[in-house]
A = this chain, B = another copy of it.
Amino acid sequence: MNQDTATVAGRGASTPEAPAPAGEFGWSLTALLREWTARVEAAVGDLPHGTRGYLVLSTVVRDTPPSQAALAARLGIDRTVMTYLIDAYVKDGLVERQQDPADRRARRIVPTERGRAVLAEMDSRVRAAEADLLGGVEEAERAVLCRLLAQAANGVAHDEDHCAAVATGPLAAREPG
């Protein structure tokens, strides 16, 4: 395993021109997300659906999506799955379903006071877990990594609807507001 490690580290230290082997990027993303999931899963422990639950709660509080569907789309979760997730958080008193007066089909998911408090606690734990996760990267570079990662993710977020294959094309182009 140590030999493996040496090999791997060698790849990372390759010349700056050749942008690393082709499989590197996907492997890095996969490995890092796996570790992130494992650690954050342990960190948030009691939260209903682990890392996914944390992301849902986090998105609900900070992005205030206008509907369950919007929330699901933002997180790349199927609408039918989102129903179960929200059910759990409602049952736990972390969020509430509110009917949108403008569109009575839609339900806005809003956090309860307890939901906000729980999220604050989770945020603190998650930050600690992430700091540990990125321990191998220097602090200044860590910020750069997070920034670029967010930039890259935001850059493709809109394309999600197109890429989700055939069925959802026209909607993505529609004006939401």
Contacts and interface: CB of A to CB of B under 8 A. Distances in A.
Interface of A: 1-13, 16, 19-36, 38-40, 42, 51, 54-55, 58-59, 62-63, 65, 70, 73-76, 122-124, 126-127, 130, 132-137, 141-161, 163-164, 166, 168-169, 172-177
B176 A4 contact: yes
Smallest CB-CB A-B distances: 10 pairs: A136-B155, A23-B58, A135-B172, A9-B177, A22-B123, A28-B153, A145-B148, A31-B153, A28-B149, A9-B176
25 contacts: A2-B177, A3-B176, A4-B70, A6-B177, A12-B177, A13-B176, A16-B147, A19-B146, A21-B123, A22-B127, A25-B130, A25-B150, A26-B54, A27-B153, A29-B33, A35-B153, A35-B159, A38-B163, A39-B168, A135-B155, A136-B152, A136-B172, A136-B173, A144-B144, A149-B149
Would you call the interface of chain A mostly helix, strand, loop, or mixed?
A: helix
A55 B35 contact: no
Nearest to A155: B136
